[in-house]
Amino acid sequence: MRAASAPPGAPAGLRWHHITATPAAANSLLDLGLPDAFELVVLQRSGGSWQTLARLDEHSRYRDRPLRHRKLVVPLAPGSGQVEVLVGFRTHGTTPLTPRLLTREQLIDDDTRADLANGIIFGIMLVLVPLLAVGLGTHQNNSYRIYAGLVVTSVLFIAQTEGYWLQFAWPDSPAWNMAIPEILALMMMGWHGAFAISLLQMRWRMPRLYFGNLVLLAAAGLTMVVHWFHPMTIWALALTSTYGLLALACAWEAVRQNVPAARFYLLGVLSLCICSILMTGMTMLWFNPFPGVPMLAFPKFGYLGETFFFGAAVLSQLRLQSEQRAALRLQRLAENEQLLQAEQTRFAAMAEAEQHKLRLASASHDISQPLASIRYAIAALRQHQDNLPIATHIDNTLNYAQTLLNDMMAQCRRDAVGPEPIQLADLFIQLQQEFAAAARHKGLRLRVHPPGGHAAGSALLLYRILNNLLANAIRYTPHGAVLLGARRRANGIEIQVWDTGPGIAPAMQRKLMAPWQQGDGASQGFGLGLFIVRNLCEQCGYAFTIHSIPGRGTGFCIHLPN
């Protein structure tokens, strides 16, 4: 194949190639190696003149092709010996022509192998997405969501370059088919940039590179809009190439800063840059360094490697987050134990102080007895006139000592230790202020009815109990309201937290009382909330009950005895 000049009367603006070959069979096919073209003219020399075999433009539909195939394949005119063919074409950028002469049997064999290889590539890429979500529980991870979008867009792009979409999805929309490759490429660039920003925590670790990503992503979005009305193929190629260099810089900086999963990200970027950008760009602009590999195979290798290494990066990030969550769970349990121990120590100290005061009061009472006996002796002294001053002095001294003893006993009586009073209204208002923003963010109504009066016990532990219950109610209630209130009972006060969530089945209620247990479909929290509530209630002597109607809501009741 060699470059050629346009024949007389040929359309302007086409690149022309002259092909000379000897077919292996009488009825041979010319595979041009392209899935589509804005314009295509194929001429075959016959008897000293050029015979038109195919003429397509950007308005030609799938059924207008000389052979209905996902790639541009032209049947040659019957003949024997050497054939001469002129091919004029205009396609995306400088995409080269890679023609081959085939028989129909060879084309069928090639299609079988290509479909099998593409199916394996699509399967590997698409299976990784649900595998990470279902098998490893990453669907709540932000990097995973972006990764899923990147993989799906990559599969769509590969299917487009292989010609499947025009063949099966939109055979009557050739203009859309010619515009979509650049749009998908820019969409992949957008997903890739968002993935890098999320995975590498770029916003606060690399602010300058973060700003560079935002600029390129904005340029990609603007290019997609303009490309819809006017082809921007060269500009889109320049943007993706520039982004490849920026992605390499981000990956290298992330490795230098020891960002988690940065090495996997670097391998994915290298796969993308070498195969999808460098090799494809070299083939389009200069030459194919691997003549045996079709140009459109390079992007597939790049996207497959990118999918694998980026999936490993998400998995590595998830493993680190799981370790951090496990450490946080243990820390939270330890803090809960420390809180209980501190409250128990405080109550023990107060009880010990009470015992000391009781012993002091008992001693004061016992000392009062001999003082009373001395008073009887003073009465005997008063019978003698000479002893009257001494008796008066002793009597005054005894009165002073008795006054001191009475004051000490009164002080012990006033300081007698009992449960501290809890101002329920103040506690309810504090909880309302703390959870109002979280409820408003989810679109829930938080209704709090502060009760009058007070209860006896530990305000700190009761606050911890209600804090856990309100946090759970807001977290697991998708819509509706959460209510915090109290009711007077015959033998105490019952504090209630009601929600309009999905409810809890009786069997699940027993399960949730154990540590590390979460309800079906729960993806947040640690599975410790109700376990902590139950333990704190037992420590404080409160009764904890759950009333729930599946599908309508749940009520959590804390009974504080008088």
pLDDT value, residue 408: 64
Q: Is the pTM of this model over 0.85?
A: no
- Tell me if residue 35 falls in helix, strand or coil: coil
Amino acid letter, residue 456: A
- Give the integer Cα–Cα distance in Å for 402 and 391: 16
pLDDT value, residue 349: 74
Q: pLDDT tens digits, residue range 296-339? A: 888 899 999 999 999 888 888 878 877 877 787 788 777 777 77
pLDDT value, residue 145: 84
Q: pLDDT tens digits, residue range 372-423? A: 667 667 776 666 766 677 777 677 676 656 666 666 666 655 554 455 678 8
What torsion do the CA atoms of 213, 216, 219, 225 make, to the nearest 10 degrees? -80
Distance of CA 204 to the CA centre of its chain: 18
pLDDT value, residue 411: 60
Q: What share of the chain is helix, strand, coil (3-state, %, to 5)?
A: 60, 15, 25
Pick out the chain residues at pLDDT < 50.
135, 138-139, 416-417, 516, 521-523, 525-527
- Which tokens in the block code for residue 166? 């025009």
